[in-house]
Structure 1
Amino acid sequence: MRWKALPRSLDPQARQLVVELRRLKDHSELSLTSLQAKTPFSRSSWERYLNGNAPPPRVAVEALARMAGADVTPLLALRDAAEENWAAAAVTSAESGSAARSEARSVGRSAGRERDPEPEIRVAALSLAAGALLLSAITSVLLITAPWREPTPETGGAGVGKYTCAYARHGDQLFAGNSATTSRLVMRNATGPDAAEVQCLLLRHKLSPGEVDGYFGARTEAEVKRLQRQDHVPADGMVGEQAWALLRHVD
């Protein structure tokens, strides 16, 4: 399927979410009509979600991940962060509309209309409420998207922060002590033990994902792609069953 260009107004996290959902849709080989038949959402709703025109509900993300055989946890984290940004943008738009209406009333009064103070009070209250909502949304985004920024004392070993790399070999597979998965999908903006395990294993392959902080950022993604290119497999930067096999393999 040939995808439309995403709206320029999308923030980076919303854009990344839509890109990941498109990948899963392509991987599942389901058409929009099939998605309508297999989920509670219409074909037009899926078009809006996959073109970045509306935030997808959690149920929609879970359904698509299930049909594509992907781990839904990092997708939901990305979706929640993106939804906060969508909400913040909506509040900003509402504030802009209120300011425009207030300016129009001021122009009308200057033209000789009778002064009516009551509408001004209502606009001020709306602006204050919108500002509080916007501050709350931005704070939530920071808490969701940057949990790794909190200072944590080093716990020793090869890791930094709360994660360490305690390598152990089991047969021809290598484990770093953070996660034992061999198939769970881990991708850009994922956080937690699976992401830390990826970073530790990248280090053992003499790659440079940066600090072992449990955040699958741009640097970690770039090194996953590098490993995939070295082994001549599609370099999509996502760690699924095939990439886990590469990371855990030991000679």
Structure 2
Amino acid sequence: MPRWKELPAETSNSERQLLVQLRRLKDHSDLSLAALASRTSYSRSSWERYLNGKKPVPRTAVEELARVCGTEPTRLIVLYDVAERARAKAPAPGRADEPSSPPRSSQPSSPAQNQERGQEQGREQTPDRAQDQDQDRAQESASTLASASASARPGRTVPLGWMLAAVALAVAVAFGAGVLTARGWDDEAPAEKTGPVAVGAGYLRGQTYKCAVRRQDGELRAGRSDTREMLLDINSTGFDVVEAQCLLREKGFSPGVFDGLYDERTKGAAKKFQQAHHLVVDGIIGPDTWRELRG
């Protein structure tokens, strides 16, 4: 099973919980992204963006994924509604995915450039598939520039302004194509660890935290989070995970690490704890497991 990429640092906790459950459902179904695309109304690239947190997943996509995987969608819809309310409260980000228009030159356009503009204006795209064609358009632009340069007659003087504009546009096209390629789907390459990374609210990914568990108001607390309901599963991160790791150690089921990353060791410790307390042994920390951990 390919390893999932880390979710973007700016992903909210509620959105993170929804994506963790959708990823888990997809993994258990053994369906590839291409298989999901063939069985739903969303393309493979759309599913890749949704499940990697690059774009908010629509409600209908949540329902279709549940249907295809043969599970009751109620729980997922509840998580979706919570994430949707959180998105509504957050400030609207700028549309960074819109390609900026290249600066217009004061020089008259060449026939090759006019032809390129006509092709771009006549090309109709749907929102979900527009990003898939960005790299193709970049390659077409580069080819058009190369053809225009090659067709110039020997000895013909090319205005300096045109030459500089062509070079700048070619560099911009090549850079944009490289960025899009780097952001593509990579099932085999694991995420590189480059030291502690800020992930909001003071949590640093890659840093180890100390546990200081004490009883307060009749329940155990490690001072990292006071949640009793947050769902934690593989690839969950943050202080909620640190809290769970510390409480597991306090209960005698230490995961060995206290870094806020819900990995296989933490899940294994959670399973042993659940089995000892006669809970559902799935390794997912939810309300029932939190109640026993804080008891």
The alignment's TM-score, normalised by the length of structure 1, stands at 0.51
Q: Alpha carbons of 1:174 and 1:97: their partners in 2 closer, same or farther (altered >3 Å)?
A: same
Quick check: which has more Rg, 1 or 2?
A: 2
Cα separation, 2, equivalents of 1:191 and 1:234:
22
Q: Match for residue 236 of structure 1?
A: 282
Structure 2 unmatched ranges of 5 or more: 8-15, 27-39, 63-73, 88-96, 99-129, 185-190
For 1:67, the aligned partner's letter is V
Report Cα offsets for 1:2-57 as digits up to 9, x if no partner. Answer: xxxx9x7x95346x9655136689xxxxxxxxxxxxxxxxxx67x669x8254252
| Larger relative helix fraction | 1
Cα separation, 2, equivalents of 1:109 and 1:69:
51
Q: Alpha carbons of 1:97 and 1:210: their partners in 2 closer, same or farther (altered >3 Å)?
A: farther
Q: Match for residue 108 of structure 2?
A: none
Give the superposition deviation at 1:187: 3.2
Q: Match for residue 52 of structure 1?
A: 47
Q: Alpha carbons of 1:105 and 1:53: their partners in 2 closer, same or farther (altered >3 Å)?
A: same
Give the superposition deviation at 1:67: 1.7
Structure 1 unmatched ranges of 5 or more: 1-5, 26-43, 77-85, 151-159
8 Å Cα contact 2:142/2:173 also seen in 1 = no
The alignment's TM-score, normalised by the length of structure 2, stands at 0.45
8 Å Cα contact 1:91/1:134 also seen in 2 = no
1:164 correspondence with 2:159? no
Report Cα offsets for 1:104-142 as digits up to 9, x if no partner. Answer: 875x689x7447966554222222356578899999xx6
Give the superposition deviation at 1:181: 2.8
Q: Match for residue 154 of structure 1?
A: none
Report Cα offsets for 1:50-91 as digits up to 9, x if no partner. Answer: x82542527858x97672599759x98xxxxxxxxx99xx98
1:20 correspondence with 2:21? yes
Report Cα offsets for 1:170-204 as digits up to 9, x if no partner. Answer: 55x43333333322323333333322210111112
Q: Match for residue 149 of structure 1?
A: 206
8 Å Cα contact 2:270/2:283 also seen in 1 = yes
For 1:57, the aligned partner's letter is P
Q: How many residues align?
A: 194
Q: Match for residue 78 of structure 2?
A: 67
For 1:128, the aligned partner's letter is F
